[in-house]
A and B are shown apart, each in its own frame.
Chain A
Amino acid sequence: MKGFMKGLIGAATMAAVGFTGAASADNNTIKFALLQDFTAVYTFVTDEYNQGQRDYLRLINEEGGIHGHTFEAIVRDTGNEPQRGIEGYNRARREGAVLVDFLSTPVSRAAVTRVLEDEVVMITVLHGRGDASDGQTFPFVFPMMATYWSQAALLLDYIDQERGGLEGKRIAHVYIDSPFGREPVPVMREIAERKGFEVRTFAYPSPGNEQSATWSDVRRFRPDFVVLWGAGGGQAVSVREAIRNGIPQENILSVVWMAETDARTIGTELATGIKRFEAVATGTDYPVMQRLMEKVIEPGHGAGDPANVGTTYYNIGVASMAVAVEGARIALEEFGPPLTGDKLRQGMEMIENFDLDGMMPPITLTPEDHQGGGYGRVSTWNGEAWEAVTDWFNAYQDIVWEEIEKDAAGFREGR
């Protein structure tokens, strides 16, 4: 115990010194805490995603803010460690943040009870608990885009509608051996029962640099389609292994975590034809992206490398902040300033058919449904870019919601 407090006082002073310059509270600034993992596991997405988020907030500020309010992003690295995320969250909350985005499943899960207690909105875009779509149980948590369950359902429905039906097909679910990888399995089994096809699961060990043993099993199964459920470096390895084991590119489908970088790692030619779930459109051919280019990127106010603008994860970042800002706009109009976490929640629950001029599917959030309908589309790599092959649609939401209800009930009982 000796020296224990000495260290503490030192630590506290250091932290206090580090922060005097940063905190400047005024009521017309709305603070969003983007406490994400820039250095550990989610590095494949965080840089571009966070850049898109900050550029969008900058755009809103450049355009004069919303009803006289501007936005400030509190950006910190959490290294995917729950204790660092919780520290950053507590600090941001004291600085007045009304929204927090961790982009990390372990950190978000550790923060769920805290945000529910503190009434701070937490957005869990494409990560976190899928059952948080149940707004009654998780009033302050917003998955806001299709959960993994909805993504799996949508990919299967795509096979059913456009690729010659599901009946009698053999589908291999190849996943990283983690809770994330197995998350869609119950939904897939349920759909398999309903539509009469066979789904078998194949796990590869984390982090997925080495998957050859798994894929020789997959080959023996002789699947008609392969659904990849991984993220980061393992994705490119999966696609290469699939092709090496004689699976045509057209029959490889992936979860949302497949981007330009992965296609380049696989080889732009070799990757041609693979399919992925898409939550937000890619590219810069949308009004909001044009505004971004004109007012933020070209004047040199961008938060990062301009080459990233329009990439998959950048656009997801833009869309996430667009929905949050829209929620803030509604909240300010309905309830007036100052914006609190609870007002922001209610504002977001009033969002109706918001589609960012076609860049994302029309989402509608309600006090019951925080997922926004579970929409998405399928896109394919055409050798240069990801190109949509379907319209925005959703699928099997009855099965998805059964799963959501089941897990949300578990959460309620566990408390």
Chain B
Amino acid sequence: MFYRQSGVHHTRYQTARRLWPLPTDQGIVWLLLALAVAAPLYLSDLYLTSYLLPWLIWSAAALSLTLLMGIAGQLHFGFAAVMAIGAYTSIHLTRAGVPFELALIGAGLMAAGIGCIFGAAALRVKGLYLVMATLAMQYLVDWTIINVPAISGGAQATLQTPDVRFLFVPLRGDAMLYYGALLWAVIVTLLVLNIKRTSFGRALVAVRDKDFAASVIGVNPFKFKLLAFFASSFLGGVSGAVLAFCYYQAVTPEQFGFNVSIQLVAMVLVGGLGSVIGAYLGAGFVLLVPIILTNLVAGAAAAGWLSVSSNLLAHIPLMVYGGLIIGFILFEPLGLAKIYDNLRKYFLVWPFRHTQS
């Protein structure tokens, strides 16, 4: 009833292969896009700059990682390092006078290049061993940034992002920074959605499911694993640059540490491996839930409902957060995306009970 399917007849392949064949889904997507575009009009600067903006950028980063982990099946525990390469490259390029648009591409290429070198390990190792190889990347990149002052920016190890223009528009002010991030999130979303239905995406899925079976049917695992690392690292590098320019406005090595890599993996896993909407939900969960819980608990304490020591008060949100993760894994191991999918399927046939798939 809510997702009316009657009357939707596909008479041409193009309509049947659209990203969202049902009119209701299209409506939701357009509505969300309109809401996102109009966000600076109705959201206060607090929610715009502290919630929505980082959420969009981290979602783009999680999408880049889900392309590699979810679609191509290659585990990566050093993705923060990929973003760091992108962030530092873009800052050094813009400081050297390169236009911002080219610097973004340069950031992507540099991240993709270095990401591929470590991704080459994926050609020989799988699973936990690949985790080790990518962890090595995280630590090597961290070490290099900290120990080469020319990269990190001297004793303070902080680089401010210079003022830049993007397509002749100065990237200044909350709204412009937000639109920069939104544009990148939309581009990555459309790209990943489309990759999933191209021959490239199907080849990645074949490699993920069984690489030697893929090579039997004529998919070259060597080529596609490397391409997966290249594409994902490129997107990750640009996401890192967008994070630096649109959000942090200053980069330090700690912003791209090992814990950030783990958070990214958590975003992908909690959201649902390989799912686009899962990347958004996962990023929202990992990024925003701790903030919201902290504020809720602090609000409860201020209202006098919770009289415990400040140390315990600081840890209650962590406990709840941990409990939530365990809960989600217990009740829906396939992630938040699967919960959304179940809801959607329920309403797809409502008031009847059974779905076809």
Residues of A within 8 A of B (CB): 1-5, 7-8, 11-12, 14-15, 17-22, 38-40, 47, 50-51, 54, 75-77, 79-80, 82-84, 86-88, 90-91, 94, 105-106, 109-110, 112-114, 129-131, 177-179, 182-183, 185-186, 303-305, 403, 407, 410-411, 414-415
Partner of A79, one of B159, B247, B250, B290: B290
Contact call A179/B248, Cβ cutoff below 8 A:
no
Cα–Cα distance between A91 and B50 once the two chains are bound (Å): 9
Task: State which of A3, A87, A182, A304 has its C-beta within 8 Å of the C-beta of B281.
Answer: A3
**Across the two chains, which residue of chain A brings its CB closest to B309?**
A304
B128: Cβ under 8 A from any A Cβ: no
Q: Which residues of A contact B296 (CB under 8 A)?
A: 14-15, 17-18
- Do residues B303 and A21 form an inter-chain contact, with CB atoms below 8 A? yes
Residue of A47, A86, A94, A131 with highest tally of chain B CB at under 10 A: A86
**Which residues of the other chain, A, contact B95 by a CB distance below 8 angstroms?**
414
In the complex, are the beta carbons of B295 and A179 less than 8 A apart? no
| CB–CB B52/A8 < 8 A | yes
9 examples of A-B residue contacts, CB within 8 angstroms: A3-B281, A18-B296, A22-B298, A22-B299, A77-B294, A84-B291, A110-B249, A179-B155, A414-B159
Collect the chain B residues with CB atoms within 8 Å of residue A19's CB.
Answer: 295, 299
Question: Contact at A2–B29, with CB atoms within 8 Å?
Answer: yes
B136-170 contact mask (Cβ, 8 Å, vs A): 1 or 0:
00000001001100001111111110110000000
> Which B224-264 residues sit within 8 Å CB-CB of chain A?
247-250, 252-255, 259
A5 contacts B302, C-beta separation under 8 Å: no
CB-based nearest A residue for B344? A2
Q: Which residues of A contact B249 (CB under 8 A)?
A: 110, 113-114
The reply on B197 being an interface residue by CB < 8 A is no
User: Is A1 a contact partner of B32 (Cβ separation < 8 A)?
Assistant: yes
Q: Please tell me if the beta carbons of B189 and A1 are within 8 angstroms of each other in the complex.
A: yes
Give which listed residue, A47, A79, A131, contacts B156 with CB less than 8 A. A131
Chain A residues whose C-beta falls within 8 Å of the C-beta of B160 in the assembled complex: 112-113, 411, 414-415
In the complex, chain B residues whose CB is within 8 Å of the CB of A40: 259
Q: Contacts of A129 on B, CB cut-off 8 Å?
A: 156, 158
Q: With the chains together, A118 CA to B324 CA distance in Å?
A: 36
Asked whether B277 lies within 8 Å of A1 as measured between CB atoms, the reply is yes
Q: How far is the CA of A68 from the CA of B235 in the complex (A)?
A: 56
Distance in angstroms between the alpha carbons of A21 and B157 in the assembled complex: 40
Q: At the interface, yes or no: B33 with Cβ under 8 Å from chain A?
A: yes
- Cβ of B284 under 8 Å from chain A: yes
Q: Name the CB-closest residue of A to B304.
A: A21
Query: Chain B: how many interface residues by the 8 Å CB criterion?
Result: 71
Q: Is the CB of A106 within 8 A of B46?
A: no
Interfacial chain A residues near B162, Cβ < 8 Å: 414-415
CB of B212 within 8 Å of the partner chain:
no
Contact with A along B110-125 (1 / 0, CB 8 A): 0000000000000000
Chain B 21-60 interface residues, beta-carbon cutoff 8 Å to A: 25, 28-29, 31-33, 35-36, 43-47, 49-52, 54-55
Q: Do the beta carbons of A22 and B302 come within 8 Å of each other? A: yes
Q: Which residues in B have some Cβ–Cβ distance to A below 8 Å?
A: 25, 28-29, 31-33, 35-36, 43-47, 49-52, 54-55, 95, 143, 146-147, 152-160, 162-163, 189, 247-250, 252-255, 259, 277, 280-281, 284, 287-288, 290-292, 294-300, 302-303, 309-311, 314-315, 317-318, 340, 344
Q: Which residues of B contact A86 (CB under 8 A)?
A: 49-50, 54, 247
Residues of A within 8 A of B295 (CB): 15, 18-19, 76, 91
Q: Which residue of A lies closest to B55 (CB)?
A: A8
Q: Quick check: B294 and A76 within 8 Å, CB to CB?
A: yes
Closest to B302 in A: A22
Q: In the complex the two chains form, is B54's CB within 8 Å of A83's CB? A: yes
**Chain A nearest CB, measured from B214 CB (Å):** 30
B33 touches A38 (CB 8 A): no
Contact assessment for A18 and B146 in the assembled complex, using a CB-CB cutoff below 8 Å? no
| Among all A-B residue pairs, the 4 with the closest Cβ atoms | A179-B157, A38-B314, A21-B303, A18-B296
CA distance A88 to B290 in the complex (A): 12
B173 CB to closest chain A CB, in angstroms? 11
Which residues of the other chain, B, contact A4 by a CB distance below 8 angstroms?
32, 36, 277, 280, 284
Instruction: Evaluate whether A22 and B146 lie within 8 angstroms (CB atoms) in the complex, with A1-B33, A91-B50 already known.
Output: no
